[in-house]
Amino acid sequence: MTTAPEPGSSSGDTEPFEPHYEPPDWYRNPVEPAASVVGHSMGFASVTYERPGCSVCGAQQVAAVSVKRHVGMVFWWRTRTADGPFCRPCGITLVREMTTRSLWQGWWGLFSLLINLLILAENLDAYRQLVRLPPSRPAVGKSALRPGKPVLRRPLAYVALIPAVWAVVLITNIALHS
Ligand SMILES: [Zn+2]
């Protein structure tokens, strides 16, 4: 068996040339693409073109939606946005969590009453797009979020009844006394 010559050793002139080549990481540990489009394969490494998948899990069946939540207090408010694209389970998880938080944190200021209504409508629209998506697998090594209970089976969602009742009382009072 022949061994590669030591660098600088004179025996290298007589030994047959034996190239030492370290294959790159991607060759030794190939990662199988989850749902990528194979564009070319010639017996060497395939060239793949990944589409941008779900922002959370990389699944390929996605909707380009944003999900929002609003926190509205008397003198300040804040809106947080989770930008997609999202697959069905990840998107529905975010819609349920962020809608529930908006339903109990989003009402406590005059401007926030209006802003929160718009945000809830946007989340509902995002939800409608997400439920139409076919199921798809997450990318290798990632997992999708678990949607959990629907919004109306989460007790915190019913905090929204307090500002709703308050608004009805306020409007009734204004109507009766004007
Ligand atoms: Zn996902």
Q: Could you tell me the pTM of the whole model?
A: 0.67
**Residues spanned by the domain of 162:** 66-177
- 2-6, 18-22, 56-60: the lowest-pLDDT one: 2-6
Please indicate, yes or no, if residue 15 is contained in any of the structural domains: no
Residue 22 resides in a domain: no
Distance 132 CA to ligand 1 centre (A): 14
pLDDT for residue 168: 86
Domain count, the chain: 1
Let me know if residue 80 belongs to a domain: yes
**In-domain check, residue 112:** yes
Instruction: Measure 138 CA to ligand 1 centroid, in angstroms.
Output: 6
CB 129 within 8 A of CB 95: no
* Average pLDDT of the segment spanning 99-127: 93
pLDDT top residue among 32 and 103: 103
Report d(CA 65, CA 86) in Å as an integer: 7
Mean pLDDT over 20-45 rounds to: 56
Task: Tell how far the Cα of 64 is from the centroid of ligand 1, in angstroms.
Answer: 12
Between 46 and 122, whose confidence is greater? Answer: 122
How many angstroms is it from 95 CA to the middle of ligand 1?
13
Cis link prior to 33 (omega < 30° from 0)? no
* pLDDT score of 26: 62
User: Is 171 inside any structural domain?
Assistant: yes
Give which of 67, 53, 69, 68 is closest to 133, Cα–Cα: 53
49 assigned to some structural domain: no
Residue 173 lies in a domain: yes
Q: Please state, in angstroms and rounded to a whole number, the distance separating the CA atoms of residues 109 and 165.
A: 15
Decide if pLDDT at 171 tops 90.
Answer: no
Weakest mean pLDDT among 94-103, 124-133, 160-169: 160-169
Is 33 part of a structural domain of the chain?
Answer: no
